[in-house]
């Protein structure tokens, strides 16, 4: 998201001048203002009004601001690292063109349809390409500095498979459908609350027996699952908030509205399957465990890398 770094100053009839917008944090040579931080945190503040205790509400508000600030500090530090390594990352206009084509192909969209979808999210074509460039630069930076450190041993993969094979509990896989409504990139708190209210009304209708597939086809923003069907998935395959809700539901249950980084979801569990024991002589099974261990190691290395970047960076929090 494009940000502007303006400190708003109001001029009284006579000096001195008064600085209106306070600084929340300084990262290297950049600043994050309180006003900007509150704007970024606004979509997460929409449920605070449900807290009647004013002291508790203010405590929760400050916790949200701190969480958003931590995320923003991490983003700025990584962006600075991208800038330092920009020459070796080598993201070209042709790379972005190919990525745009991949996006259109994956979502079965024409250029005009994609532009219309971006407009609905408050993004211009130029801003979209800038976002893709940033994503590609970040991906290559991680490949250079993090992914190269991930080393997998066949013995570790086989041991994980055998542990799972002889475990007392078989993995349960959940089969589910969902309705997704994305939150526009520049949506304010009022717009987010209106969208949540519409989803709550839809949830009540679905819980009362409305046709879930028909609602997903008509209302869902998930173009990859036009009738809402997500198939079956195990632990670690979905976003944490989504997975936790899905695993709490019984077959046929419709969830309350939940929020993830993609937007608002309503989930319906259609089946629960008891997974069979792992066949550790099957290369496809071993590949699944290889991917599982790889993701765990990537997460560990990423966290260590980000912590190291933050230790080395100049960060002054004034919130």
Which sequence spans correspond to the domains of the chain?
Answer: 9-84, 86-145, 171-274
pLDDT at 3 over 50: no
Query: For residue 108, is it left (φ>0), alpha (ψ between -120 and 50) or beta?
Result: left
Token match 């590949």: residue? 287
- Model confidence at 97, pLDDT cuts 50, 70, 90, reads very high
| % of the chain residues with pLDDT over 90 | 25
pLDDT at 150 over 50: yes
pLDDT at 21 over 50: yes
Per DSSP, helices labelled H in 85-148 are 86-89, 93-107, 111-120, 125-145
Of 16-30, 44-58, 236-250, the least confident:
16-30
Residues 75-104 have a mean pLDDT of 89
CATH class of the domain defined by 171-274 = alpha beta
């Amino acid at each position: 998201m494009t940000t502007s770094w303006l400190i708003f100053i109001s001029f009284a009839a006579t000096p001195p001048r008064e600085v209106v917008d306070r600084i929340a944090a300084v990262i290297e040579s950049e600043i994050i203002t309180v006003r900007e931080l509150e704007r970024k945190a606004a979509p997460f503040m929409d449920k605070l009004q449900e807290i009647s205790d004013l002291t508790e509400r203010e405590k929760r508000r400050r916790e949200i601001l701190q969480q958003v600030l931590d995320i923003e500090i991490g983003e700025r530090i990584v962006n600075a690292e991208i800038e330092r390594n920009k020459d070796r990352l080598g993201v070209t206009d042709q790379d972005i063109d190919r990525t745009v084509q991949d996006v259109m192909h994956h979502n079965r969209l024409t250029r005009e349809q994609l532009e219309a979808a971006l407009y609905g999210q408050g993004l211009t074509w130029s801003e979209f390409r800038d976002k893709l460039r940033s994503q590609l630069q970040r991906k290559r930076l991680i490949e250079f500095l993090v992914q190269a450190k991930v080393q997998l041993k066949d013995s570790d993969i086989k041991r994980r498979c055998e542990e799972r094979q002889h475990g007392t509990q078989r993995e349960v896989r959940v089969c589910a459908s969902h309705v997704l409504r994305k939150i526009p990139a520049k949506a304010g708190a009022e717009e987010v609350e209106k969208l949540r209210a519409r989803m709550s009304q839809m949830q009540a209708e679905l819980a009362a027996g409305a046709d879930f597939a028909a609602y997903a086809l008509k209302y869902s923003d998930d173009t990859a699952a036009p009738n809402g069907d997500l198939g079956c998935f195990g632990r670690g395959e979905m976003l944490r908030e989504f997975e936790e809700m899905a695993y709490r539901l019984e077959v046929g249950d419709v969830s309350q509205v939940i929020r993830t980084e993609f937007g608002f979801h309503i989930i319906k569990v259609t089946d629960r399957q008891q997974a069979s024991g792992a066949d550790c002589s099957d290369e496809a099974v071993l590949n699944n465990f290889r991917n599982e261990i790889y993701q765990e190691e990537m997460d560990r290395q990423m966290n260590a890398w980000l912590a190291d970047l933050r230790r080395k960076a100049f960060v002054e929090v004034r919130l």
